[in-house]
Structure 1
Amino acid sequence: MHFTNLIAPLALASLATAFATPVFAKDLLPIDHGRYVQSQHECSDPKGSMLFIYDGEGVKSAKATCKLSNVTHSGNLSQFDESCSYYHRSWSILPTTVTEYRSRLEVLNKREFVLKRENENLEMTDHYRWCSAE
């Protein structure tokens, strides 16, 4: 009968639905999203850079934003490169310094991990625990 008149509207509706469906990127690290603090600090008082916020794509703190790349996983270990932009002044829109790290994350559980960052100038290892959703 009049089925040919329905094909175009149905195709358009299907196409619109396909493009309206949100697509979520795969999390880069196998930990929950949210705010983490170094294990020796209270969640209510993280002491500046001791705060680690993970959003699935990168990490940030009160004074830094880090982009992750070259992420690999083996068991409970993840390794990746980090490029961290540090903002030492609260009013600054440009980073004061940018530091590159080779990092290793040992997942203890979805809300607790040990992070080791290193480059030619330093090596640091910190234990973090989850405090709250972002």
Structure 2
Amino acid sequence: RKGLHAATSLKPRLHRGLGILAGMAGLVFSLWLEARLLILPDLFPPLLLPTALTTLFCGLILVVGRTTALSQVIGYLVAENGIFLLGVPLMTAGAVWFELALLLDVFVAVFVMGIAIHHIGETFESIDVGRFRSLRD
């Protein structure tokens, strides 16, 4: 059984300074990648591709570098926003790309819910709601 002290003593897997440096490295890599990629002209507005990739990288850093479920869920949401930013310009390129981006958003949502349910299952002995009937005022 986990006590209050065990919950408050959780340390992130990745040191905060190292996480910031990794995020900055993701930004530099995104800017470098935008200059090197041969994409359709006028598909992405200026700096949208690096913004989306940096958001995606920062979300993945949050997921990998944190130990609490709430921090990991926030990381998945940040990564999902990066995926959404990548998918918005593709809506004009064709419906198939938009549908694939939407499918990826649904996959991320199901993945986040799976992690949340897993952490709830680890925290509580039973998640059987039938036991609530035996509660009295």
State the TM bucket, normalised to the shorter chain. Answer: under 0.3
TM-score (structure 2 length as normaliser): 0.25
TM-score (structure 1 length as normaliser): 0.25
* Structure of greater Rg: 1
